Amino acid sequence: LFCPCLIYGAYIFLPFDAPLLPTISARLVYTLRCAAFATFPIVLGMIVSGISRLCSSALEPFGELHQEVEIHRTYVSQSVHLFILYFFNMAVLATYLPQELLKLIPLLTGLFAISRLIFWLSYAIGRSFRAFGFSMTFLPLLAMLLWNLYGMFILEPENLLS
């Protein structure tokens, strides 16, 4: 319930519009450029994971990881998997959206980055708090997937593979 309200508020109140993108290739390049910003939390997680591994008190560098190192490593791994799913769904979504709704692409990218940072913070606090951050990432992904399937099979079934 929080994610649609957040996206709608940002769509209405943020003063920017998507550039005119008449072709599918231009839309895909725009999506690719927006998706580069979604890698920020992943790269930040890799840096923190490396620093925590270096500062760890483990005598054996390839031995069993401490909890603080394991949290960052798990966060980075899960974030990479979710980013791949998110990016491919955003790329397909960009091909189906009308021009006036292309503003959703950078908004969804920002939501992904913010929700991954919230997940990371809540995961570090305690494993029971991570559901909010994960749902902020997963539920928009699920909504994009459903919209993409609806667009492919209901709106344009004749152009499914073209």
Mean per-residue pLDDT, 93-105: 87
CA distances from 91 to 47, 95, 100 (A): 27, 7, 16
Delineate the domains of the chain, giving CATH numbers in brackets. Answer: 23-161 (1.20.120)
Res 85: pLDDT: 94
Tell me the pLDDT band of 87, cut-offs 50, 70 and 90. very high
The pLDDT of residue 17 is: 79
What is the pTM for the complete model shown?
Answer: 0.84
pLDDT per residue over 109-152, tens digit each? 999 999 999 998 888 787 777 788 888 889 999 999 999 888 88
Give which of 109, 93, 111, 112 is closest to 150, Cα–Cα: 93
- The mean pLDDT value of the chain amounts to 84
C-alpha span between 76 and 8 (Å, rounded): 29
Contact (Cβ atoms closer than 8 angstroms) between residue 107 and residue 114: no
Separation CA 137–CA 104 (nearest Å): 15
